[in-house]
């Protein structure tokens, strides 16, 4: 029973990558909302351009892929099926 509880606990590196994912995704959504508000209410707020949005999405996708690959490797090690 104890091993089943440990399956859902993330390592420190995985948690850091997930925090990076949530932070960059939140900044991306916030940037979209600021851009929409700027159009609707004629605000002159700073917003990221196309390159900034692309970089936020790139960081978010890389961090999610890193976590998923690490989890797959950890599951393979636990089951003894991973390849060297």
pLDDT tens profile 2-13: 444 455 677 888
pLDDT tens profile 42-68: 888 888 889 999 999 999 999 999 999
Output the six-digit token pair for 63: 């961090």
pTM for the full predicted model = 0.72
**DSSP 3-state assignment of 45?**
coil
Residues found in the chain: 84
Report residue 76's pLDDT band, with 50, 70 and 90 as the boundaries: confident
Residues 6 or more apart whose Cβ sits within 8 Å of residue 7: 78
Q: Quick one: pLDDT at residue 3?
A: 45
């Amino acid at each position: 029973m104890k091993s089943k509880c440990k399956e859902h606990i993330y390592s420190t590196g995985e948690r850091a990558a997930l925090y990076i994912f949530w932070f960059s995704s939140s900044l991306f959504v916030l940037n979209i909302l600021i851009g929409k508000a700027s159009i609707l209410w004629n605000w002159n707020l700073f917003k990221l351009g196309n390159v900034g949005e692309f970089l936020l999405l790139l960081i978010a996708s890389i961090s999610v892929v890193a976590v998923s690959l690490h989890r797959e490797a950890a599951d393979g090690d636990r089951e003894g099926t991973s390849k060297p």
